[in-house]
Amino acid sequence: MIAVLFPGQGAQTPGMLAPWLEIPEVATHLTALSEATDVDVLHHGTASDADTIRDTAIAQPLLVAAGLATARAVLGDTAPGVVAGHSVGELGAAALAGVIDDVTAMRLVTVRSAAMAAAAAASEPTSMAAVLGGVEEEVLARLAELGLTPANMNGGGQIVAAGAKSAIEELVADGPTRARVIELQVAGAFHTSYMAPAVDALAQAAASITPADPATALLSNADGTPVESGAEALTRIVRQVASPVRWDQCQERMLALGVTGIIEVAPGGVLTGLAKRSLKGVPAVALKSPDDLPAARELLEQHA
């Protein structure tokens, strides 16, 4: 069984779309997705520098467009057994599962990204940091001491903390025993209560959509549960903006469902890296460039 995974914010890199535009069908799809949002995805995916595409309002539409265009390119008419996305990647996953169409995913991510950027700008200075290693109970206890939220429980000994920037700086200076703490270059404390205004904005945008039920198993970031209805999928995606990502539980569910192969769509690498530690022995291909398409298609043929 193949799982197709969509990475979240932070996976983007300068020029990431340039090689994909050399494939006519991918270029056509990316052009249509770019036209569905007020963000110039094609420009930012080929010409913008790292600082520019770090902007939440730019990064999120760019990631959803890249994920959807490359997912369609590798899958063709083959349906995956499981689909999941990390954070904003949930919108791409929902479209691939048939809950919404690709254009609707782009319209929703435009609202989501702008609202999250605005919520971050309106709050006190906030930040996020990756905590690598250490004992999970000790890590969580240290975050609680500092009033920080475990915003991403990624599995494999990786927890991303989020909250007030001063508390993040204290965590970096005095982290848990045997853990390495790296402050992330992000514009806010995502997946925490600081994002409550963005939840309201996305809920308003989602209210006008009539979703379909998932055509394949679609895992929720809330707890790794396969979502049974389109309405539930949208509700969970909206709430997840201000709730922790439980990617550890998504990976556990993949194993329970019998996933035997993983394809991470562009810009791939982050989620397959986590899978190497949490889903040991499950072969994975990350779509970093079109050169990875043959290996992904071979994996698809063997495990779909």
Catalytic residues: 87, 191
- Measured CA to CA, the distance from residue 144 to residue 139 in angstroms comes to 9
Instruction: Count CA atoms within 13 Å of residue 81 on its CB side.
Output: 18
267, 12 contact by CB (below 8 A): yes
